[in-house]
Structure 1
Amino acid sequence: MNKKIKLIHPRDQITTILSRIYKRGMTTTSGGNISIMDENGDIWVTPSAVDKGTLIASDIICVQKDGTIIGKHKPSSEFPFHKAIYESRPDIKSVIHAHPPALVAFSIVRQIPNTNVISQAKHVCGPIGYAEYELPGSEMLGGVIGEEFKKGYKAIIMENHGTVLGGSDLTDAFERFEALEFCASTILYGSQIGTPNYLTDTQIDAFEAQATAVLPEQEVVAYASDEVEKRLEIKKIVERSCQQGLMISSYGTVSARWKGNDFLITPTGINRWDLDLDDIVQIKDGKRESGKNPSRASWIHQEIYKNNPKINSIITTQSPYLMAFGITSTYLNVRTIPESWIFLQDIRTIKYGDHFKGNDNSDLVKACTTAMIIENDSVIITGDKLLETFDYLEVAEFSAKSIVLGSSLGKMVPINDEQVEDLRKKFLA
């Protein structure tokens, strides 16, 4: 993923990312550590025995190239394996270690999640390594992990411990971390309701090949006040989606109709957490705002707007419980509670490949419904106002979560046809 260049001190980068990890429930007060190697070869690292939920920039430790420690705390007890990774891989400049629940589940059953479960994940995560158990904080653990990174991996499952990931910078490492935990979660949830299906490398390569087309550029771009207001709406919805685990750094598209069939859409190649107003791309008369690359899903959004005049906003994303149904081809029956059915009616499943540009997309585009799940790829939610569309996404994900969780208790009993007809008469007539 392309990165925006921002001059942010390593201390602030680390506290920002660790706050996201902690608030999303992917580490504990005492667990996890992050480091960055700067251009001088000094390593900035989280401290030992400091609350991860309240960490501030001044808590971050600098271990200089000569071993001198600068800071008011001790460096993380896991510093030895951070150091070992940097020594074994000069291309890696940041490391994240944490104990996110889904990846820990894989580590304690000693398995590696198959990232071919979602079309984009293989390219974000790369191949996954496996480090056998050694004492936490020990030089032996550092040695084992360092040897795995020497093999070319940037993501490793640590036996009975968690995961460690590296990146060209902290944003790169976090995108990999988030995507891998998402894959692990989706596989776990999918396994509760069915059998996960995996894409072949050929299917993934076909997706990547068809998603590279770029719209022509506009010659002149105007920014009216109502257009800027829609940019702000999009930015806020993307932020909420990331915070609530409905979108990850490396995947998710939000758009809003502006005038006629012209619309605004999020870009490709920019971390969703860091989205700014001027990153959002205007699409006018089928042409993109000059100098910007819109989401690779732009053409789907464009076709939906053209064929569905009552749809004014679209969210394409990956949320773990909805995608549990998407990877198992299990029918998601939203007749769970009245609100779910009123908002969503029936959620359709689209076969993988039917969303490719150039294929027959009529079933997706012309018969567009409020919620559609594309197998092993994403969920598409449509609506009028953007906040309404986001609400539909939340309702759909909560409904999917309830069914997944309820599957351990017994068979779901939906509201019956007569009750549905009463809802139809009262709310949809």
Structure 2
Amino acid sequence: MKKLDTSLMHPRDQITMIIDKIYRSGLTTTSGGNVSIIDENGDIWVTPSAVDKGSLRASDIMVVRKDGTIEGRHKPSSEYPFHRAIYESRPEIKAIIHAHPPALVSFSIVRQIPDTNIIPQAKHICGDIGYATYEVPGSNELGKVIAREFDKGFSAVIMENHGTVVGGSDLLDAFQRFETLEFCGRTIIYGNTIGTPNYLAHEQIEEFENQIPRLLPEMEQVEHPSDERAIREEIKRIVHRACDQGLMISSYGTVSVRWRGNDFLITPTDVARWNIQNEDIVQIKNGKREPGKLPSRATWLHQEIYRRNPEVNSIILTQSPHLMAYSVTHEKLNVRTIPESWIFLQDVPNVPFGSHFAGEETILKLISKDTPAVIINNDSVLVTGDKLLGTFDRLEVAEFSAQSLTMGASLGKLIPINDNQVEALRKKFLG
């Protein structure tokens, strides 16, 4: 995946950027967690001990020089010993994130490892997950047990009764691994609330990875008139908003908007979603792609939906946390919860994993004015609509409905809006 170019960013600035994102995403607390980078000199830049993660500044970041000299305004994180141990164990790891995100802490206190085969991209991003037995935080013993797991080749480790630690080739790589692993944990937990999660076979994950976009021929000349540039800005803002709202993670998600006729613009396959910029978005015109760019692997599906459904002008395909509970359990999402949910969604069928692959017809035969959204088992939710903001609203309504149903499962049996009430809604709002 193409990453934000941090080659000219100081380690202090990289760390403050990522710790801010972790904190604002609800993946750590004011006092919890630590982040580090080892630079080309062997110096380790690390978050300080006992400084508010919600207001951390670059000047707060500590450095432990290769010779052991400590520089900075504070004390280095108390967990610095295991950061150092990991770097000594795995020289190719250049950045480390440790935190106590809620779902992975849940796994750590029941002493289980999340099965990343729950969603397709996670096995490739996270790899196999290690498990480090409990030792006192900040101790050399904890560093040793964690380093032993990294010695085995793991780049993500569940820490018994503690949390998780992940490493990466750089800090953005580590963050994507951290975020994706926590998302897997949440998906499994929410799935267990409403049913029994199903997992993908290794062969299905390989099939997903092999869905490299059919490389459309490149255009010889690209034009960017003002209406096209306006669509780029709209897509960028919605993708960033989806990430901010927890409706999309950096490793998965596609947004497209019809431009003229059946031409459209679509997000790329190789850019972290929270960092997508206008210039990353790919124009698809007359069956050709913008030169030098790799559009989403779902481009074929979007192209066919636009071709067959003139009323559809925007599409969002994403993984949002509570809808994914229905995706992985293959349970039916009953949107007869409140009037708004049914009016916006009407019916949300589940389709088998792989229905979104190139050449498959299942989704194409379902999408219509009366079926604007589908849940793809163990993969995602696909939502269609007219204006992109309206499609995003539909996604939010679907996610809120799924969240209400997931939370309501502990209270009692769902009592849906009845057929007579639905018919009244149909006549008033859809007639």
- Normalising by structure 2, we get a TM-score of 0.98
- Asked if 1:191 is matched to 2:196, the reply is no
Structure 1 residue matching 2:317: 3-state secondary structure: strand
Deviations 1:305-332 (A, max 9, x none): 1111111111110011001001001110
User: SS state of the match for residue 329, structure 2?
Assistant: coil
Partner of 1:417: 419
Q: Name 2:173's counterpart in structure 1.
A: 172
The whole-number CA distance in structure 1 between the counterparts of 2:232 and 2:183 is 27
The residue type paired with residue 363 of structure 2 is L
CA contact (8 A) 2:95 2:170 kept: yes
Counterpart Cα distance in 1 of 2:98 and 2:268: 29
Q: Residue 3 of structure 1: CA displacement?
A: 2.6
1:396 to 372, 395, 398: 398
CA contact (8 A) 1:104 1:162 kept: yes
Q: CA deviation at 1:302?
A: 0.8
After superposition, residues 243-258 of structure 1 pair within 5 angstroms as 243-258=244-259
Residue 370 of structure 1: how far off its partner (Å): 1.6
Residues 324-355 of structure 1 deviation map (CA, whole Å, 9 limit, x = unaligned): 00100111001111110110111111111222
Which residue identity is paired with 1:176?
A: R
Question: Could you tell me how far 1:273 is from its partner in structure 2?
Answer: 1.2
Secondary structure (helix, strand or coil) at the match of 1:372 reads strand
* Letter aligned with residue 200 of structure 2: L
Q: Does 1:75 align with 2:76?
A: yes
CA contact (8 A) 2:27 2:101 kept: yes
1:24 Cα deviation from its structure 2 partner: 1.4
- Match for 1:50: what amino acid? V
Shift of 1:41: 1.3
State the AA in 2 paired with 1:367.
Answer: L
Q: In 2, distance between residues paired with 1:85 and 1:214?
A: 40
SS of residue matched to 2:284: strand
Task: After TM superposition, list the pairs within 5 Å mapping 1:8-407 onto structure 2.
Answer: 8-358=9-359, 360-361=360-361, 363-368=362-367, 369-407=371-409
Q: Separation in 2 of the partners of 1:269 and 1:316?
A: 16
Once the two structures are superposed, residues 228-254 of structure 1 have per-residue CA deviations (whole angstroms, 9 ceiling, x without a partner) of: 111000111111111111101111111
> Per-residue deviation at 1:70?
1.5
Distance 1:250 1:193 in 2: 25
1:25 Cα deviation after fit: 1.1
- Helix, strand or coil: the match of 2:332? coil
Q: Deviation per CA, 1:287-306, whole angstroms, max 9, x where unpaired?
A: 11001111111111111111
Amino acid of the structure 2 residue aligned with 1:2: K
Alignment partner, residue 5 of structure 2: 5
- Deviation, structure 1 residue 210: 2.8
In structure 2, C-alpha distance between the alignment counterparts of 1:70 and 1:192, rounded to whole Å: 48
Q: What letter is aligned with 1:53?
A: G
Alpha-carbon distance in structure 1 between the residues aligned to 2:267 and 2:148: 39
Residues 190 and 196, structure 1, Cα contact 8 Å, conserved in 2:
yes
Using the TM superposition, give the Cα deviation of residue 35 of structure 1 relative to its aligned residue in structure 2, in angstroms: 0.5
Preserved CA contact (<8 Å) 1:248 1:318? yes
* Aligned partner of residue 283 in structure 1, secondary structure: strand
Residue identity opposite 2:211 in structure 1: Q
Amino acid of the structure 2 residue aligned with 1:380: L
**Alpha-carbon deviation of 1:380?**
0.4
Aligned-pair identity in percent equals 69
3-state SS, counterpart of residue 148 of structure 1: helix
Shift of 1:211: 3.0
In structure 2, how many angstroms separate the alpha carbons of the residues matched to 1:139 and 1:236? Answer: 45
1:358-417 deviation line (CA, Å, top 9, x unaligned): 3x31x3113213211100011101111111111111110010000001001111111111
| 2:22–2:28 CA contact under 8 A, matched in 1 | yes
Query: Offset of 1:212 from its aligned partner?
Result: 4.4
> Any gaps of 5 or more consecutive residues in structure 2?
none
Q: What secondary structure sits across from 2:108 in the alignment?
A: helix
How far 1:17 sits from its partner (Å)?
A: 1.1
SS in 2 for 1:218: coil
> For residue 260 of structure 1, what is the amino acid of its counterpart?
G
SS at match of 1:166: strand
Once the two structures are superposed, residues 186-231 of structure 1 have per-residue CA deviations (whole angstroms, 9 ceiling, x without a partner) of 0000001100000100111112113343222111000011111110
Taking the aligned partners of 1:197 and 1:110, their CA distance within structure 2 comes to: 20
Superposition deviation, residue 4 in structure 1: 4.2
After superposition, give the CA deviation of every residue in 1:241-288 in whole Å (9 maximum; x if it has no partner): 111111011111111111111111111111111111101111111111
